């Protein structure tokens, strides 16, 4: 009962309205949107993990709003971003970080922007130590915000929504369907979570609609309805350690996947992933001590 009361005190209607109001400023005043979103993100992650002194990897951390929020909570923060705004410039689909290097792997509103979101989830689990936390939020395509700035026209189709936006605003949307924005459903991601649980690599701690008050959280358990009423889905996973048998099975499947040239046959990514990074950045995998010793982001 105490846990339930705490959940209801946190996930209030006032919080929901505050975040929805902030969403209106994303395109015109990013600070007005990302500052409260970052603070809320830290509060969410803190419900599942202690942040003080812990190594936190933010996949797609952006220009610094999340860095400040996590560092204010005492975390040793590192971000990976394809743009030159993170501590590490790299690819979410092949994180330039060694296995089990961080205590918390976090990502906010990035999963829907990568062409292979399943692989990104693989990578987040891979770089997190056993017992550590993977926490990610993403925008659900059929939810009211699925088209980002092209919403609500995305219900007519992503390409048509982009054309309508361009006619109305005189410029193409920043998030282009099929290129930098992809249709991602709650059901699809939950299948990958169940796959991780069956494979023994992670344990589901929570799945909930991020912006909703506590009384609306059960909608994620209702197929169909959840796709339209969940604007943003949040998932918390506890990374599990593997037994010797599980580790051998995982290694065998990795070898098979490598021979086939496919990342789809195993939930686990290779032990060491070389960085697919932007020009001018490091080409070496980031070791745990290098992450721990990096200067905090000040962007």
Q: How many CA atoms lie within 13 A of 214 on its CB side?
A: 10
Q: Is residue 170 over pLDDT 60?
A: yes
9 or 3, higher pLDDT: 9
Provide the token pair at 154.
């995305």
269 or 12, higher pLDDT: 12
| Domain residue limits at 6 | 2-140+184-293
- pLDDT (average), residues 224-248: 81
Provide the token pair at 202.
């992670």
For the chain, state the CA radius of gyration: 19
Beta strands in the chain (DSSP E): 55-59, 76-81, 88-89, 102-108, 128-139, 202-209, 232-239
86 confidence band (pLDDT: 50, 70, 90): low
Q: Is 165 contained in some domain? A: no
Q: Is residue 281 over pLDDT 60?
A: no
pLDDT digits (tens, 9 = 90+) for 55-74: 999 999 887 899 999 999 99
Length of the chain counted residue by residue: 299
Q: Which residues contact 89 (CB under 8 A, 6 or more apart)?
A: 80, 81, 82, 83, 277, 278, 280, 281
**Number of domains within the chain:** 1
Q: Is 251 contained in some domain? A: yes
Q: Is 69 contained in some domain? A: yes
| Average of per-residue pLDDT values in the chain | 82
Q: Is 246 contained in some domain? A: yes
Provide the token pair at 138.
């993403």
* CA-to-CA separations, 8 to 136, 203, 214, in angstroms, rounded: 21, 23, 5
Of 116, 181, 105, nearest to 149 by C-alpha is: 181
Q: Are 113 and 182 in contact (CB under 8 A)?
A: yes
pTM: 0.80
CATH code (residue 17): 3.40.50.150
């Amino acid at each position: 009962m105490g846990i339930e009361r705490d959940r209801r005190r946190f996930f209030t209607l006032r919080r929901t309205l505050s975040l929805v109001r902030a969403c209106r400023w994303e395109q015109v005043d990013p600070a007005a949107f990302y500052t409260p979103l970052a603070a809320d993100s830290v509060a969410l992650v803190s419900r599942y993990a202690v942040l003080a002194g812990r190594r936190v990897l933010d996949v797609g951390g952006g220009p610094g709003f999340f860095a400040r929020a996590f560092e204010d909570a005492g975390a040793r923060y590192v971000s990976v971003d394809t743009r030159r705004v993170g501590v590490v410039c790299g690819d979410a689909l092949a994180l330039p970080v060694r296995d089990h290097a961080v205590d918390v792997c976090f990502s906010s509103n990035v999963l829907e922007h990568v062409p292979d979101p399943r692989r990104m989830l693989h990578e987040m689990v891979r770089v997190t130590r056993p017992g550590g936390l993977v926490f990610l939020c993403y925008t659900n395509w059929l939810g009211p915000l699925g088209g980002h700035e092209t919403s609500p026209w995305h219900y007519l189709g992503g390409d048509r929504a982009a054309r309508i936006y361009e006619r109305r605003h005189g410029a193409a949307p920043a998030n282009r369907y099929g290129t930098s924005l992809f249709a991602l459903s709650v059901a699809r991601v939950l299948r990958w979570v169940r796959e991780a649980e069956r494979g023994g690599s992670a344990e589901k701690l929570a799945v909930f609609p991020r912006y909703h008050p506590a009384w609306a959280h059960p909608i994620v358990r209702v197929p169909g309805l959840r796709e339209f009423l969940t604007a943003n889905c949040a998932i918390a996973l506890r990374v599990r350690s593997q037994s010797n048998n599980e580790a051998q099975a995982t290694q065998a499947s990795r070898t098979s996947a490598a021979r086939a040239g496919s990342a789809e046959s195993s939930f686990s990514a290779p032990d060491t992933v070389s960085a697919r990074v932007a020009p001018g950045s490091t080409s070496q995998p980031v070791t745990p001590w290098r992450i721990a010793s990096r200067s905090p982001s000040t962007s």
